[in-house]
């Protein structure tokens, strides 16, 4: 185990008031986002878009680390620099999404499991040579009146623990992402129960797989009512419910918790992180963001695949990232949205 290297990396990832930029959309997910924005879904456009992100001026003042996809870590920027080196040159820790997506879980109708463990040890050593110092694996938990089942939670949390152990053996920090989806009509309370059950199972599996908790980052969902739940809750309720759940489930040895945005609006994701810091100024772990859509979406929409829009898109990306960094200090206000 490369404990010191893992600890050094988690410190860099959680430094200051910064957060992670998730820019690791798989090809299907990125193409879906591009199609919605009217952008051609080609490798060259995905490369141009990631070039726009990585070359955003001052991005490093708000972003400590960035998650790349397998496609991106093997590409070079338009200036011919490997993406991981371009990030490192800006003081941003490069990371890599290593899961290979979700498939139907056999015997569990409507439920999914994430794949990618076979051959992962070999892939991790290649990613290390390509410059990755942390990795990410996303488990997807779906809620409806009948699911999730215990069997689905067990399969996903066990896979997350196996992935984390393989990462640490390679000297790479695992970002562990159990995502309870916001899709559906379920209540905040139902989301809390499922999230809590999943987190407790996850930390048991991490313990059983001898994962060093000092060398991981947890990337959970916030506790929220589903998008179509008739009862929406205010930010204080969401903040209290989320933090109390995390305090119950996440050991103090974990260096950091970095939320995914999960389809919340950029403003909601920022305001809710801010409320958590205002209500809980002292927590056992760093509490920050690891957003994809909530940081990227305004920039992607502004860019729309046109070179003449790059500067405006980069300004929007930097603006969103810096608002989330301000939220990590509990100093964000809605007025800042207009600046």
Ligand X SMILES: O=P(O)(O)OC[C@H]1O[C@](O)(COP(=O)(O)O)[C@@H](O)[C@@H]1O
Distance of CA 186 to the CA centre of its chain: 23
Least separation in angstroms between CB 178 and ligand X: 11
51 binds ligand X (CB under 6 A): no
203 binds ligand X (CB under 6 A): no
Residue labelled with tokens 């984390």: 164
CB distance 120 to 166 below 8 Å: yes
Residue 177: active-site member: yes
Phi-psi region of 78 (alpha: psi -120 to 50; beta: other; left: phi over 0): alpha
Residue of 219, 227, 244, 331 marked catalytic: 219
190 binds ligand X (CB under 6 A): no
Binding segment toward ligand X, per CB under 6 A, in 23-31, 55-63, 124-132, 185-193: 23-31
Answer for which of 46, 123, 138, 158 binds ligand X (CB under 6 A) is 138
Which H helix or E strand runs over 48?
helix 43-54
Answer for which of 67, 250, 310, 327 binds ligand X (CB under 6 A) is 67
- What span, in angstroms and rounded, lies between the C-alpha atoms of 58 and 56? 6
Least separation in angstroms between CB 282 and ligand X: 26
Q: Which is nearer to ligand X, 3 or 45 (CB)?
A: 45
Q: Give the DSSP per-residue string, 247-303.
A: HHHS-TT--EEEE--TT--HHHHHHHHHHHHHH-S--SSEEEEEESHHHHHHHHHHH
Binding mask 273-302 for ligand X (x = CB under 6 A): ------------------xxxx--------
Residue labelled with tokens 């810096």: 322
Which of these, 207, 103, 105, 204, lies nearest to 151 by C-alpha position? 105
Which H helix or E strand runs over 174?
strand 173-180
Q: Which is nearer to ligand X, 43 or 248 (CB)?
A: 43
Least separation in angstroms between CB 262 and ligand X: 4
Residue labelled with tokens 């076979």: 118
Answer for which of 177, 181, 186, 241 binds ligand X (CB under 6 A) is 177
Residue 18: active-site member: no
Which of these, 256, 321, 271, 268, lies nearest to 292 by C-alpha position? 321
163 binds ligand X (CB under 6 A): no
Least separation in angstroms between CB 4 and ligand X: 27
CB distance 248 to 270 below 8 Å: no
- What span, in angstroms and rounded, lies between the C-alpha atoms of 291 and 247? 21
CB distance 276 to 226 below 8 Å: no
Which of these, 98, 92, 38, lies nearest to 71 by C-alpha position? 98
Least separation in angstroms between CB 210 and ligand X: 25
49 binds ligand X (CB under 6 A): no
Binding segment toward ligand X, per CB under 6 A, in 19-27, 88-96, 123-131, 184-192: 19-27
Q: Which of residues 70-129 bind ligand X (CB under 6 A)?
A: none
Residue of 177, 244, 278, 308 marked catalytic: 177
Q: Which is nearer to ligand X, 17 or 25 (CB)?
A: 25
Backbone angles phi, psi at 256, to 5 degrees: -160, 150
Q: Which is nearer to ligand X, 7 or 26 (CB)?
A: 26
Least separation in angstroms between CB 180 and ligand X: 11
Positions annotated as catalytic residues are 177, 219
Q: Rule CB under 6 A: which residues touch ligand X?
A: 22, 24-26, 29, 67, 138, 177, 260-262, 291-294
């Amino acid at each position: 185990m490369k404990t010191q290297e893992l600890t050094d990396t988690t410190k860099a990832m959680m430094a200051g008031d910064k957060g992670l930029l998730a820019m690791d959309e798989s090809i299907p997910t990125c193409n879906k986002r591009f199609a919605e924005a009217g952008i051609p879904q080609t490798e060259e456009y995905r490369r141009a878009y990631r070039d726009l992100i990585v070359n955003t001026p001052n991005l490093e003042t708000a972003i400590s680390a960035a998650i790349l996809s397998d496609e991106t870590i093997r590409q070079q920027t338009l200036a011919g620099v490997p993406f991981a080196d371009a990030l490192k040159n800006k003081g941003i820790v490069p990371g890599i999404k290593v899961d290979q997506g979700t498939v139907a879980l056999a015997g569990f109708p409507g439920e999914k499991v994430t794949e990618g463990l076979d051959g992962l040890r070999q892939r991790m050593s290649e990613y290390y040579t390509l410059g990755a110092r942390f990795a990410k694996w996303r488990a997807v938990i779906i809620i409806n009146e009948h699911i999730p089942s215990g069997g689905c939670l067990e399969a996903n949390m066990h896979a997350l623990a196996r992935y984390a152990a393989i990462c640490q053996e390679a000297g790479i920090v695992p970002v562990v992402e159990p995502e309870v989806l916001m899709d559906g009509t379920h209540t905040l309370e139902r989301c809390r129960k499922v999230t809590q059950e999943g987190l407790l199972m996850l930390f048991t599996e991490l313990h059983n797989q001898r994962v060093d908790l000092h060398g991981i980052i947890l990337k959970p969902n916030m506790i929220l009512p589903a998008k179509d739940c008739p009862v929406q809750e205010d930010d204080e309720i969401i903040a209290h419910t989320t933090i109390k759940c995390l305090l119950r489930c996440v050991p103090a040895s974990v260096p950091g918790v970095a939320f995914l945005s999960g389809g919340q609006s950029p403003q909601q994701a920022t305001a809710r992180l801010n409320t958590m810091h205002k209500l809980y100024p002292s927590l056992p772990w760093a509490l920050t963001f690891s957003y994809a859509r909530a940081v990227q979406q305004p920039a992607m929409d502004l860019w729309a695949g046109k070179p003449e829009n790059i500067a405006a898109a980069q300004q929007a990306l930097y603006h969103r990232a810096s608002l989330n960094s301000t939220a990590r200090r509990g100093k964000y206000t809605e007025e800042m949205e207009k600046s």
